[in-house]
Structure 1
Amino acid sequence: MIHFLKDLFNEHEFSIVEPEFLEGQSGFMAVNLNPSRLGFFLVLFKNEDVDFVELNELINQYFMNLKRLPVGYDKRMDKNFTLIICLKRAAFTYNETLNRSIFEVEEDPYHFRKLVLPYAEVEVQEFNELYRAEGITRGLYNLLNDKDKFYDFKKHSAESTAYHLTTRLFIKLPFLHYQGKEEELENLGSLINSRLKQINLNSLRDSALNFIKTNENVSLEEEITLINMWLEELDNE
Protein backbone atom coordinates (compact mmCIF):
# COMPACT_ATOMS: atom_id res chain seq x y z
CA MET A 1 0.00 0.00 0.00
CA ILE A 2 2.83 2.41 0.75
CA HIS A 3 4.25 2.08 -2.79
CA PHE A 4 0.73 2.40 -4.22
CA LEU A 5 0.12 5.71 -2.44
CA LYS A 6 3.58 7.09 -3.14
CA ASP A 7 3.02 6.51 -6.85
CA LEU A 8 -0.47 8.05 -6.65
CA PHE A 9 0.87 11.20 -4.98
CA ASN A 10 3.67 11.37 -7.55
CA GLU A 11 1.14 11.23 -10.38
CA HIS A 12 -0.49 14.32 -8.85
CA GLU A 13 2.80 16.24 -8.73
CA PHE A 14 3.57 15.73 -5.05
CA SER A 15 7.14 15.34 -3.84
CA ILE A 16 7.76 12.45 -1.46
CA VAL A 17 9.74 13.18 1.71
CA GLU A 18 10.66 10.79 4.52
CA PRO A 19 11.25 12.98 7.60
CA GLU A 20 13.64 11.81 10.26
CA PHE A 21 11.07 12.19 13.05
CA LEU A 22 9.20 9.11 11.79
CA GLU A 23 12.09 7.12 13.31
CA GLY A 24 11.44 3.88 11.46
CA GLN A 25 7.65 4.21 11.50
CA SER A 26 6.01 3.22 8.23
CA GLY A 27 5.03 6.45 6.50
CA PHE A 28 6.05 9.45 4.42
CA MET A 29 5.24 13.08 3.69
CA ALA A 30 3.82 14.29 0.37
CA VAL A 31 4.25 17.96 -0.54
CA ASN A 32 2.90 20.01 -3.44
CA LEU A 33 3.98 23.66 -3.46
CA ASN A 34 2.06 24.62 -6.60
CA PRO A 35 -0.19 27.51 -5.41
CA SER A 36 -3.16 26.09 -7.32
CA ARG A 37 -2.66 22.61 -5.82
CA LEU A 38 -1.02 23.43 -2.51
CA GLY A 39 -1.06 20.54 -0.09
CA PHE A 40 0.94 18.89 2.68
CA PHE A 41 0.21 15.31 3.75
CA LEU A 42 1.68 13.06 6.40
CA VAL A 43 0.76 9.46 5.60
CA LEU A 44 1.06 6.76 8.28
CA PHE A 45 0.44 3.02 7.99
CA LYS A 46 -1.05 1.10 10.92
CA ASN A 47 -2.82 -2.19 11.54
CA GLU A 48 -6.41 -2.31 12.78
CA ASP A 49 -5.25 -3.50 16.24
CA VAL A 50 -3.33 -0.26 16.81
CA ASP A 51 -3.65 1.33 20.25
CA PHE A 52 -5.48 4.56 19.46
CA VAL A 53 -4.46 6.17 22.76
CA GLU A 54 -0.80 5.72 21.84
CA LEU A 55 -1.56 6.78 18.27
CA ASN A 56 -3.08 10.07 19.46
CA GLU A 57 0.02 10.75 21.57
CA LEU A 58 2.15 10.04 18.51
CA ILE A 59 0.05 12.43 16.40
CA ASN A 60 0.60 15.22 18.94
CA GLN A 61 4.32 14.50 18.91
CA TYR A 62 4.42 14.61 15.11
CA PHE A 63 2.67 17.97 15.13
CA MET A 64 5.41 19.44 17.33
CA ASN A 65 8.07 17.82 15.15
CA LEU A 66 6.58 19.38 12.04
CA LYS A 67 6.62 22.85 13.60
CA ARG A 68 10.29 22.38 14.53
CA LEU A 69 11.57 21.05 11.21
CA PRO A 70 14.93 22.77 10.60
CA VAL A 71 14.45 22.30 6.84
CA GLY A 72 11.10 21.78 5.21
CA TYR A 73 8.71 23.62 7.48
CA ASP A 74 6.44 25.97 5.55
CA LYS A 75 4.09 28.36 7.35
CA ARG A 76 1.40 27.42 4.81
CA MET A 77 1.33 23.99 6.48
CA ASP A 78 -0.70 25.49 9.32
CA LYS A 79 -3.83 25.66 7.15
CA ASN A 80 -3.07 23.08 4.48
CA PHE A 81 -1.83 20.03 6.36
CA THR A 82 -3.60 16.66 6.43
CA LEU A 83 -2.74 13.48 8.29
CA ILE A 84 -3.85 10.25 6.60
CA ILE A 85 -3.78 7.06 8.66
CA CYS A 86 -3.92 4.03 6.37
CA LEU A 87 -5.48 1.33 8.52
CA LYS A 88 -4.86 -2.21 7.30
CA ARG A 89 -7.78 -4.54 7.96
CA ALA A 90 -8.04 -8.31 7.54
CA ALA A 91 -11.75 -8.09 6.65
CA PHE A 92 -14.43 -5.42 6.73
CA THR A 93 -16.58 -6.97 9.42
CA TYR A 94 -18.54 -4.59 11.61
CA ASN A 95 -16.48 -3.38 14.58
CA GLU A 96 -18.21 -0.75 16.70
CA THR A 97 -15.16 -0.09 18.89
CA LEU A 98 -12.92 0.46 15.87
CA ASN A 99 -15.52 2.65 14.16
CA ARG A 100 -15.81 4.81 17.29
CA SER A 101 -12.03 5.19 17.50
CA ILE A 102 -11.84 6.20 13.84
CA PHE A 103 -14.62 8.73 14.36
CA GLU A 104 -12.83 10.27 17.33
CA VAL A 105 -9.61 10.65 15.36
CA GLU A 106 -11.29 12.24 12.35
CA GLU A 107 -13.42 14.59 14.43
CA ASP A 108 -10.54 15.83 16.55
CA PRO A 109 -10.27 19.56 15.68
CA TYR A 110 -6.74 20.13 16.98
CA HIS A 111 -3.49 20.66 15.06
CA PHE A 112 -4.47 19.57 11.53
CA ARG A 113 -7.05 17.64 9.54
CA LYS A 114 -7.03 13.88 10.16
CA LEU A 115 -8.41 11.15 7.92
CA VAL A 116 -8.47 7.37 8.38
CA LEU A 117 -8.29 5.25 5.23
CA PRO A 118 -9.18 1.59 5.91
CA TYR A 119 -7.94 -0.90 3.33
CA ALA A 120 -7.31 -4.60 2.83
CA GLU A 121 -4.22 -6.02 1.17
CA VAL A 122 -6.34 -8.05 -1.27
CA GLU A 123 -7.90 -4.81 -2.55
CA VAL A 124 -4.50 -3.36 -3.42
CA GLN A 125 -3.38 -6.64 -5.01
CA GLU A 126 -6.49 -6.82 -7.18
CA PHE A 127 -6.02 -3.25 -8.37
CA ASN A 128 -2.33 -3.78 -9.15
CA GLU A 129 -3.04 -6.96 -11.12
CA LEU A 130 -5.92 -5.57 -13.20
CA TYR A 131 -5.59 -1.79 -13.44
CA ARG A 132 -2.14 -0.51 -12.46
CA ALA A 133 -0.59 -1.02 -15.91
CA GLU A 134 -2.54 1.99 -17.25
CA GLY A 135 -1.38 4.20 -14.38
CA ILE A 136 -2.95 4.40 -10.93
CA THR A 137 -4.98 7.55 -11.51
CA ARG A 138 -6.33 6.45 -14.90
CA GLY A 139 -7.04 3.01 -13.48
CA LEU A 140 -9.01 4.50 -10.57
CA TYR A 141 -11.16 6.63 -12.88
CA ASN A 142 -11.81 3.77 -15.30
CA LEU A 143 -12.72 1.41 -12.48
CA LEU A 144 -15.05 3.93 -10.87
CA ASN A 145 -16.89 4.33 -14.20
CA ASP A 146 -17.29 0.57 -14.74
CA LYS A 147 -21.04 -0.04 -14.47
CA ASP A 148 -20.72 -3.78 -13.85
CA LYS A 149 -18.25 -3.20 -11.00
CA PHE A 150 -20.58 -0.56 -9.57
CA TYR A 151 -23.55 -2.96 -9.53
CA ASP A 152 -21.39 -5.63 -7.86
CA PHE A 153 -20.32 -3.03 -5.31
CA LYS A 154 -23.97 -2.20 -4.52
CA LYS A 155 -24.86 -5.88 -4.09
CA HIS A 156 -21.83 -6.81 -1.99
CA SER A 157 -20.99 -3.67 -0.02
CA ALA A 158 -18.99 -5.50 2.67
CA GLU A 159 -16.57 -7.29 0.35
CA SER A 160 -12.92 -6.32 -0.11
CA THR A 161 -12.44 -5.42 -3.77
CA ALA A 162 -10.47 -2.91 -5.81
CA TYR A 163 -13.70 -1.00 -6.40
CA HIS A 164 -14.27 -0.61 -2.66
CA LEU A 165 -10.73 0.70 -2.24
CA THR A 166 -11.30 3.14 -5.10
CA THR A 167 -14.44 4.61 -3.54
CA ARG A 168 -12.64 5.15 -0.22
CA LEU A 169 -9.72 6.88 -1.95
CA PHE A 170 -12.08 9.29 -3.69
CA ILE A 171 -13.81 10.03 -0.38
CA LYS A 172 -10.59 10.62 1.57
CA LEU A 173 -8.15 12.22 -0.88
CA PRO A 174 -9.16 15.79 -1.75
CA PHE A 175 -7.18 15.89 -5.02
CA LEU A 176 -9.25 13.05 -6.51
CA HIS A 177 -12.41 14.31 -8.20
CA TYR A 178 -15.00 12.08 -9.84
CA GLN A 179 -15.09 12.35 -13.63
CA GLY A 180 -18.05 10.58 -15.22
CA LYS A 181 -17.74 9.28 -18.76
CA GLU A 182 -19.86 11.12 -21.27
CA GLU A 183 -22.36 8.88 -23.02
CA GLU A 184 -24.42 9.75 -26.07
CA LEU A 185 -28.07 9.32 -25.15
CA GLU A 186 -30.63 8.12 -27.66
CA ASN A 187 -33.25 10.60 -28.80
CA LEU A 188 -36.26 9.76 -26.66
CA GLY A 189 -38.77 10.75 -29.33
CA SER A 190 -37.10 8.53 -31.92
CA LEU A 191 -36.94 5.67 -29.43
CA ILE A 192 -40.68 5.95 -28.68
CA ASN A 193 -41.59 6.15 -32.38
CA SER A 194 -39.49 3.09 -33.14
CA ARG A 195 -41.13 1.12 -30.35
CA LEU A 196 -44.65 2.15 -31.41
CA LYS A 197 -43.89 1.01 -34.94
CA GLN A 198 -42.64 -2.36 -33.68
CA ILE A 199 -45.90 -3.06 -31.83
CA ASN A 200 -48.09 -1.70 -34.65
CA LEU A 201 -49.24 1.36 -32.73
CA ASN A 202 -47.55 4.01 -34.85
CA SER A 203 -50.57 4.36 -37.15
CA LEU A 204 -52.85 4.63 -34.10
CA ARG A 205 -50.87 7.56 -32.78
CA ASP A 206 -50.88 9.33 -36.16
CA SER A 207 -54.61 8.74 -36.67
CA ALA A 208 -55.44 9.97 -33.16
CA LEU A 209 -53.41 13.15 -33.62
CA ASN A 210 -54.96 13.78 -37.03
CA PHE A 211 -58.47 13.19 -35.67
CA ILE A 212 -57.93 15.69 -32.86
CA LYS A 213 -56.55 18.31 -35.28
CA THR A 214 -59.47 18.04 -37.71
CA ASN A 215 -62.20 17.72 -35.09
CA GLU A 216 -61.49 20.38 -32.51
CA ASN A 217 -65.08 20.39 -31.21
CA VAL A 218 -65.38 16.62 -30.76
CA SER A 219 -66.21 15.47 -27.24
CA LEU A 220 -63.91 13.43 -25.05
CA GLU A 221 -66.38 10.54 -25.14
CA GLU A 222 -66.22 10.45 -28.95
CA GLU A 223 -62.42 10.46 -28.88
CA ILE A 224 -62.38 7.51 -26.47
CA THR A 225 -64.93 5.60 -28.60
CA LEU A 226 -62.82 6.05 -31.75
CA ILE A 227 -59.60 5.00 -30.00
CA ASN A 228 -61.32 1.88 -28.63
CA MET A 229 -62.48 1.00 -32.17
CA TRP A 230 -58.89 1.25 -33.43
CA LEU A 231 -57.67 -0.93 -30.58
CA GLU A 232 -60.27 -3.59 -31.40
CA GLU A 233 -59.16 -3.58 -35.04
CA LEU A 234 -55.55 -4.11 -33.94
CA ASP A 235 -56.57 -7.03 -31.72
CA ASN A 236 -58.37 -8.67 -34.66
CA GLU A 237 -55.36 -8.40 -37.00
Structure 2
Amino acid sequence: MVFDDYGYVKRWDCENTVFYMNANKDIANYFLVNYIDATSEGESGDSILEKLKALENNYTDEIAEKNIRKKILGLFENDSLAAQLDKNISAIYPIKLKNINELDNYKNLIYYVEESPYFFRRFVLPYTDKQTDELKTIISDNKEKTIRDILSDLANDEDAYFDLAEHKSINSVYELVIRLFSKIPFLQYNFKAEQKPMSIEKRIENSLDEVLFKYHDIVVNENKDLEAMILKEDTELTDADLERKIDELVREV
Protein backbone atom coordinates (compact mmCIF):
# COMPACT_ATOMS: atom_id res chain seq x y z
CA MET A 1 0.00 0.00 0.00
CA VAL A 2 2.87 2.38 0.75
CA PHE A 3 4.34 1.86 -2.71
CA ASP A 4 0.96 2.42 -4.37
CA ASP A 5 0.48 5.69 -2.51
CA TYR A 6 3.70 7.06 -3.99
CA GLY A 7 3.06 5.93 -7.55
CA TYR A 8 5.22 2.81 -7.55
CA VAL A 9 4.02 -0.12 -9.63
CA LYS A 10 4.79 -3.80 -9.15
CA ARG A 11 6.50 -4.90 -12.37
CA TRP A 12 7.91 -8.29 -11.44
CA ASP A 13 7.66 -10.80 -8.62
CA CYS A 14 8.87 -14.28 -7.85
CA GLU A 15 8.17 -16.15 -4.63
CA ASN A 16 9.12 -13.74 -1.83
CA THR A 17 10.69 -10.99 -3.97
CA VAL A 18 8.94 -8.05 -5.70
CA PHE A 19 10.35 -5.36 -8.01
CA TYR A 20 8.83 -1.86 -8.11
CA MET A 21 9.39 1.06 -10.44
CA ASN A 22 7.58 4.38 -10.50
CA ALA A 23 4.81 5.02 -13.02
CA ASN A 24 6.48 8.37 -13.66
CA LYS A 25 9.41 7.58 -15.95
CA ASP A 26 11.23 10.70 -14.78
CA ILE A 27 11.63 9.12 -11.32
CA ALA A 28 14.58 6.78 -11.65
CA ASN A 29 14.32 5.01 -8.30
CA TYR A 30 13.82 1.24 -8.24
CA PHE A 31 13.14 -1.13 -5.37
CA LEU A 32 13.48 -4.85 -4.76
CA VAL A 33 11.46 -5.95 -1.74
CA ASN A 34 12.60 -9.27 -0.35
CA TYR A 35 10.22 -10.62 2.32
CA ILE A 36 11.89 -12.85 4.91
CA ASP A 37 10.13 -14.99 7.51
CA ALA A 38 12.31 -15.48 10.58
CA THR A 39 9.64 -16.87 12.91
CA SER A 40 10.50 -20.56 12.73
CA GLU A 41 11.94 -22.38 15.72
CA GLY A 42 15.72 -22.47 15.85
CA GLU A 43 16.15 -19.36 13.70
CA SER A 44 19.63 -17.91 14.10
CA GLY A 45 21.76 -15.08 12.83
CA ASP A 46 23.45 -17.45 10.36
CA SER A 47 20.17 -18.71 8.92
CA ILE A 48 18.81 -15.17 8.53
CA LEU A 49 22.05 -14.02 6.89
CA GLU A 50 21.75 -16.88 4.41
CA LYS A 51 18.23 -15.73 3.51
CA LEU A 52 19.41 -12.13 3.13
CA LYS A 53 22.28 -13.17 0.86
CA ALA A 54 19.96 -15.21 -1.36
CA LEU A 55 18.68 -12.08 -3.08
CA GLU A 56 22.21 -10.86 -3.77
CA ASN A 57 23.21 -14.26 -5.17
CA ASN A 58 20.16 -14.48 -7.40
CA TYR A 59 20.56 -10.90 -8.60
CA THR A 60 23.70 -11.84 -10.54
CA ASP A 61 23.27 -15.60 -10.87
CA GLU A 62 25.21 -17.12 -13.77
CA ILE A 63 22.17 -19.19 -14.66
CA ALA A 64 20.00 -16.93 -16.83
CA GLU A 65 16.73 -18.36 -15.53
CA LYS A 66 17.68 -17.31 -11.99
CA ASN A 67 19.33 -13.99 -12.80
CA ILE A 68 17.00 -11.33 -11.37
CA ARG A 69 18.95 -8.43 -12.84
CA LYS A 70 18.49 -9.68 -16.42
CA LYS A 71 14.77 -10.15 -15.86
CA ILE A 72 14.44 -6.60 -14.55
CA LEU A 73 16.47 -5.11 -17.40
CA GLY A 74 14.02 -6.71 -19.81
CA LEU A 75 11.24 -4.57 -18.32
CA PHE A 76 12.72 -1.28 -19.54
CA GLU A 77 11.56 0.23 -22.81
CA ASN A 78 15.04 1.20 -23.99
CA ASP A 79 18.73 0.90 -23.10
CA SER A 80 19.03 4.46 -21.81
CA LEU A 81 16.42 3.79 -19.13
CA ALA A 82 17.92 0.39 -18.32
CA ALA A 83 21.34 2.01 -17.84
CA GLN A 84 19.98 3.84 -14.77
CA LEU A 85 19.16 0.64 -12.90
CA ASP A 86 22.46 -0.23 -11.25
CA LYS A 87 23.03 3.17 -9.64
CA ASN A 88 19.41 3.72 -8.61
CA ILE A 89 18.22 0.40 -7.20
CA SER A 90 17.67 -0.35 -3.52
CA ALA A 91 16.70 -3.50 -1.66
CA ILE A 92 14.28 -3.48 1.29
CA TYR A 93 14.22 -6.56 3.50
CA PRO A 94 11.08 -6.77 5.67
CA ILE A 95 11.95 -9.44 8.26
CA LYS A 96 9.08 -10.93 10.22
CA LEU A 97 10.09 -11.84 13.77
CA LYS A 98 8.13 -13.86 16.28
CA ASN A 99 9.11 -11.46 19.04
CA ILE A 100 10.53 -7.98 18.50
CA ASN A 101 12.89 -8.53 21.44
CA GLU A 102 14.79 -10.93 19.19
CA LEU A 103 16.00 -7.88 17.31
CA ASP A 104 18.73 -7.37 19.91
CA ASN A 105 20.32 -10.61 18.70
CA TYR A 106 20.52 -9.40 15.10
CA LYS A 107 21.70 -5.78 15.39
CA ASN A 108 25.25 -6.56 14.23
CA LEU A 109 23.84 -8.66 11.40
CA ILE A 110 21.58 -5.84 10.25
CA TYR A 111 24.47 -3.37 10.32
CA TYR A 112 26.63 -5.77 8.27
CA VAL A 113 23.93 -6.23 5.64
CA GLU A 114 23.00 -2.55 5.34
CA GLU A 115 26.63 -1.45 5.01
CA SER A 116 27.43 -3.89 2.20
CA PRO A 117 28.63 -1.92 -0.86
CA TYR A 118 27.65 -4.46 -3.50
CA PHE A 119 24.91 -4.15 -6.15
CA PHE A 120 22.34 -2.03 -4.29
CA ARG A 121 21.60 -0.05 -1.15
CA ARG A 122 20.01 -2.18 1.56
CA PHE A 123 17.40 -1.41 4.21
CA VAL A 124 16.43 -4.05 6.80
CA LEU A 125 12.95 -3.60 8.26
CA PRO A 126 12.11 -5.87 11.24
CA TYR A 127 8.44 -6.25 12.23
CA THR A 128 5.97 -8.57 13.94
CA ASP A 129 2.47 -9.73 13.05
CA LYS A 130 1.13 -7.78 16.03
CA GLN A 131 2.51 -4.54 14.63
CA THR A 132 1.26 -5.07 11.07
CA ASP A 133 -2.17 -6.26 12.22
CA GLU A 134 -2.59 -3.14 14.35
CA LEU A 135 -1.47 -0.91 11.47
CA LYS A 136 -3.88 -2.60 9.04
CA THR A 137 -6.74 -1.98 11.47
CA ILE A 138 -5.86 1.71 11.77
CA ILE A 139 -5.67 2.03 7.97
CA SER A 140 -9.01 0.26 7.58
CA ASP A 141 -10.60 2.62 10.12
CA ASN A 142 -9.30 5.70 8.27
CA LYS A 143 -10.15 4.98 4.66
CA GLU A 144 -10.71 8.67 3.95
CA LYS A 145 -7.01 9.37 4.58
CA THR A 146 -3.96 8.61 2.46
CA ILE A 147 -1.36 6.16 3.75
CA ARG A 148 1.20 8.94 4.11
CA ASP A 149 -1.21 11.00 6.26
CA ILE A 150 -2.06 8.03 8.47
CA LEU A 151 1.62 7.21 9.03
CA SER A 152 2.46 10.86 9.72
CA ASP A 153 -0.40 11.13 12.23
CA LEU A 154 0.90 8.05 14.03
CA ALA A 155 4.46 9.39 13.99
CA ASN A 156 3.23 12.67 15.51
CA ASP A 157 1.95 10.92 18.63
CA GLU A 158 4.05 12.57 21.34
CA ASP A 159 2.89 10.22 24.10
CA ALA A 160 3.88 7.18 22.01
CA TYR A 161 7.30 8.75 21.42
CA PHE A 162 8.00 9.09 25.14
CA ASP A 163 6.62 5.59 25.84
CA LEU A 164 9.00 4.12 23.28
CA ALA A 165 11.92 6.19 24.58
CA GLU A 166 11.23 4.78 28.05
CA HIS A 167 10.84 1.22 26.64
CA LYS A 168 7.17 1.14 27.65
CA SER A 169 5.75 0.37 24.19
CA ILE A 170 8.06 -2.21 22.65
CA ASN A 171 6.38 -4.02 19.73
CA SER A 172 3.94 -1.14 19.20
CA VAL A 173 2.58 0.17 15.92
CA TYR A 174 4.41 3.43 16.65
CA GLU A 175 7.72 1.58 16.68
CA LEU A 176 6.90 0.04 13.29
CA VAL A 177 5.90 3.41 11.80
CA ILE A 178 9.16 5.02 12.90
CA ARG A 179 11.06 2.18 11.23
CA LEU A 180 9.06 2.62 8.03
CA PHE A 181 10.11 6.26 7.84
CA SER A 182 13.75 5.35 8.44
CA LYS A 183 13.90 2.36 6.07
CA ILE A 184 11.79 3.37 3.06
CA PRO A 185 13.71 6.14 1.25
CA PHE A 186 10.79 7.80 -0.53
CA LEU A 187 8.44 7.83 2.45
CA GLN A 188 7.83 11.46 3.40
CA TYR A 189 6.93 12.59 6.88
CA ASN A 190 4.26 15.29 7.03
CA PHE A 191 5.32 17.38 10.00
CA LYS A 192 2.37 18.47 12.12
CA ALA A 193 2.78 22.14 13.00
CA GLU A 194 1.93 22.71 16.64
CA GLN A 195 0.72 25.91 18.23
CA LYS A 196 3.35 27.82 20.21
CA PRO A 197 3.55 25.92 23.49
CA MET A 198 2.15 27.61 26.55
CA SER A 199 4.85 28.91 28.87
CA ILE A 200 5.51 27.02 32.09
CA GLU A 201 4.57 30.14 34.03
CA LYS A 202 1.19 30.36 32.30
CA ARG A 203 0.53 26.64 32.82
CA ILE A 204 1.22 27.03 36.54
CA GLU A 205 -1.11 30.03 36.81
CA ASN A 206 -3.92 28.17 35.03
CA SER A 207 -3.62 25.24 37.42
CA LEU A 208 -3.96 27.31 40.62
CA ASP A 209 -7.17 28.08 42.42
CA GLU A 210 -8.03 31.65 43.38
CA VAL A 211 -6.41 31.57 46.84
CA LEU A 212 -3.18 29.90 45.72
CA PHE A 213 -2.92 32.29 42.78
CA LYS A 214 -2.76 35.24 45.19
CA TYR A 215 0.29 33.74 46.88
CA HIS A 216 1.83 32.81 43.55
CA ASP A 217 1.38 36.43 42.45
CA ILE A 218 3.19 37.62 45.58
CA VAL A 219 6.16 35.31 45.06
CA VAL A 220 6.56 35.86 41.30
CA ASN A 221 5.54 39.47 40.76
CA GLU A 222 6.17 40.90 44.23
CA ASN A 223 2.85 42.74 43.98
CA LYS A 224 2.29 42.86 47.75
CA ASP A 225 4.17 41.91 50.82
CA LEU A 226 3.02 38.76 52.54
CA GLU A 227 1.77 40.56 55.63
CA ALA A 228 -0.49 42.84 53.59
CA MET A 229 -2.02 39.85 51.83
CA ILE A 230 -2.70 38.09 55.13
CA LEU A 231 -4.44 41.20 56.46
CA LYS A 232 -6.63 41.28 53.36
CA GLU A 233 -7.93 37.74 54.01
CA ASP A 234 -11.44 37.52 55.47
CA THR A 235 -10.31 35.01 58.06
CA GLU A 236 -7.11 35.04 60.04
CA LEU A 237 -4.51 32.57 58.86
CA THR A 238 -2.62 30.53 61.40
CA ASP A 239 0.98 29.54 60.85
CA ALA A 240 -0.24 26.04 60.00
CA ASP A 241 -2.67 27.40 57.39
CA LEU A 242 0.02 29.50 55.78
CA GLU A 243 2.48 26.59 55.73
CA ARG A 244 -0.17 24.36 54.15
CA LYS A 245 -0.92 26.87 51.40
CA ILE A 246 2.75 27.37 50.63
CA ASP A 247 3.20 23.56 50.45
CA GLU A 248 0.30 23.33 48.00
CA LEU A 249 1.84 26.03 45.84
CA VAL A 250 5.19 24.22 45.76
CA ARG A 251 3.51 20.96 44.74
CA GLU A 252 1.68 22.70 41.88
CA VAL A 253 5.00 24.06 40.59
Give the TM-score taking structure 1 as reference length: 0.72
- What amino acid sits opposite 1:168 in the alignment? R
Q: 1:186 to 1:121 in 2, by over 3 A?
A: closer
1:234 to 229, 233, 236: 229
1:47 aligned onto 2:50: no
1:8-61 C-alpha deviation (Å, 9 max, x unpaired): 100011011224xx3xx2121111153774310000111223442354244132
Q: Distance in 1 between matches of 2:158 and 2:220?
A: 36
Aligned residue for 1:18, secondary structure, equals: strand
Matches within 5 A, 1:46-195: 46-48=36-38, 49=43, 50-53=47-50, 55-63=52-60, 65-69=67-71, 71-73=74-76, 74-94=82-102, 97-134=105-142, 135-156=146-167, 159-185=170-196, 188=199, 191=202
Q: Distance in 1 between matches of 2:203 and 2:127?
A: 46
1:106-147 C-alpha deviation (Å, 9 max, x unpaired): 111111101111010111101111234424322211111123
1:13 aligned onto 2:7: yes
Q: Distance in 1 between matches of 2:204 and 2:130?
A: 49
Gaps of 5+ in 1: 1-6, 209-226
Aligned residue for 1:68, secondary structure, equals: helix
RMSD of aligned C-alpha atoms? Answer: 3.3
In the alignment, which residue of structure 1 is the partner of 2:238?
Answer: none
Aligned residue for 1:183, secondary structure, equals: coil
Q: 1:140 to 1:192 in 2, by over 3 A?
A: closer
Give the TM-score taking structure 2 as reference length: 0.68
Could you tell me how far 1:160 is from its partner in structure 2?
1.4
Do 2:34 and 2:55's aligned partners in 1 also have CA atoms closer than 8 Å? no
Q: 1:35 to 1:234 in 2, by over 3 A?
A: farther
Do 2:7 and 2:23's aligned partners in 1 also have CA atoms closer than 8 Å? no
Q: 1:190 to 1:33 in 2, by over 3 A?
A: same
- What amino acid sits opposite 2:75 in the alignment? G
Q: 1:175 to 1:132 in 2, by over 3 A?
A: farther
